[in-house]
Amino acid sequence: MNDDFKILLEFLEGDVQEVAGRSAATISADLKEKIARFASGKSTEEERVEMKKMLQEQPHLIPALVIETKALRQASE
């Protein structure tokens, strides 16, 4: 398993409410869009590298990524 996504997978195994409860920061619309592109796999390699770095430096953004990823999973079911 790729270590870059280990923490995301751990969050995905948890409850959405628990993850959402940890998020206190407001995220700009632009950043939300970048997170959504990353979650959907539509970001470029450069955007992926930037997002991984941002998530490591600002872990409070991880719950937003989890929410986007779960929303994509539910939409595909």
Domain encompassing residue 39: 3-76
Task: Give me the helices (H) in 1-77, please.
Answer: 6-13, 16-22, 29-40, 45-57, 62-76
Q: What's the CA gap between 35 and 61, in Å, rounded?
A: 9
pLDDT in tens, the chain (77 residues): 466 666 666 666 665 444 444 444 689 999 999 999 999 999 999 999 999 999 999 999 999 999 999 998 888 77
Does the model's pTM come out above 0.75? Answer: no
- How many domains does the structure of the chain reveal? 1
Question: How far is the first Cα of the chain from the last one, in angstroms, to the nearest whole number?
Answer: 24
Contact between residue 69 and residue 19 where contact means Cβ atoms under 8 Å apart: no
Q: Is the dihedral of CA 24, 18, 59, 9 positive or negative?
A: negative
